């Protein structure tokens, strides 16, 4: 029975092929995702990377390569995919909007470094975020950190965009949040079609940002030259 199910599953994967598929705004994690400590994960990943490189024919006794499995394992757990661990979620410090600022606040050109979950290749781009306060404001750097946290995991850009908006909506207590991300995917730029010029734009508009005039105002701000450029 397992062999039949496994065959059907593989056929489904083959049918999807290069198509961009996603399931929901939640990152797909197993129930036992956090049973291993970070140190245990690094140890297991190190052995797996060693097996991959050996299978590819690499000589891991070479001085340049013998430390690679551990370096890769540590970068996966501590850096590239640190956003999988909820303990790394930044505390979204918010404050009362005592100065009664009622217009939109836009944080633009936030650097995005993520990893495509289909080929484990880099996604590199910029995020533009806006919100309209309903009584709370958030520290500017916290918006950058929220983008970083959700970026540091195997991702699809659509999900990343939604996760950033949902996190800010929860922190600020308002639906009036928007995010646009423009990014290059190296799974497109460096393999497959190898189109080095193309980029992908995704957006999520909540609350007042669904209004055409408010949406246009935000997009106009996002296109403005950044200070000191």
Active site residue 187: yes
Active site residue 128: no
105 backbone dihedrals φ, ψ, rounded to 5°: -110, 130
CA distances from 71 to 41, 42, 66, 100, 217 (A): 13, 9, 10, 49, 45
Closest CA to 111 of 141, 74, 155: 141
Q: Which of 119, 166, 169, 217 is catalytic?
A: 119
Q: Which of 46, 107, 148, 157 is catalytic?
A: 157
E-only strand ranges, 82-221: 94-96, 104-116, 122-132, 136-138, 154-155, 177-185, 200-205
Active site residue 87: no
Active site residue 117: yes
Active site residue 118: yes
Q: Which of 128, 155, 185, 204 is catalytic?
A: 185
Q: Which of 46, 107, 116, 128 is catalytic?
A: 116
Q: Which of 148, 155, 163, 187 is catalytic?
A: 187
User: What is the strand order of the sheet 200-205 is part of?
Assistant: 154-155, 104-116, 122-132, 177-185, 200-205
Closest CA to 134 of 33, 208, 211: 208
Q: Which of 117, 158, 169, 175 is catalytic?
A: 117
Active site residue ranges? 116-119, 157, 185, 187
């Amino acid at each position: 029975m397992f062999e039949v199910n496994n065959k059907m599953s593989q056929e489904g994967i083959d049918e999807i092929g290069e198509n961009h598929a996603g399931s929901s705004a939640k990152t797909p994690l197993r129930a036992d995702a956090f049973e291993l400590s970070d140190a245990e994960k690094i140890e297991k990943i190190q052995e797996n990377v060693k097996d991959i490189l050996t299978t590819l024919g690499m000589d891991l006794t070479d001085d340049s390569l013998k430390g690679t499995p551990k370096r890769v394992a540590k970068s996966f757990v501590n850096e590239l995919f640190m956003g999988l661990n909820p303990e790394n979620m930044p505390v979204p410090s918010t404050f009362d909007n005592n100065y009664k600022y009622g217009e939109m606040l836009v944080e633009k050109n936030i650097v995005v470094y993520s990893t495509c979950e289909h080929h484990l290749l880099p996604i590199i781009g910029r995020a533009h975020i806006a919100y309209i306060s309903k009584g709370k404001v958030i520290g500017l750097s916290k918006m950058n950190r929220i983008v970083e946290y959700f970026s540091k995991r195997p991702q699809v850009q659509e999900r990343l965009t939604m996760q950033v908006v949902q996190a800010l909506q929860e922190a600020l207590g308002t639906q009036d949040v928007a995010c646009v991300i423009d990014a290059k995917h190296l799974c497109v730029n460096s393999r497959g079609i190898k189109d080095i010029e193309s980029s992908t734009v995704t957006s999520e508009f909540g609350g007042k940002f669904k209004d055409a005039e408010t949406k246009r105002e935000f997009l106009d701000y996002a296109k403005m030259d950044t200070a000191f450029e």
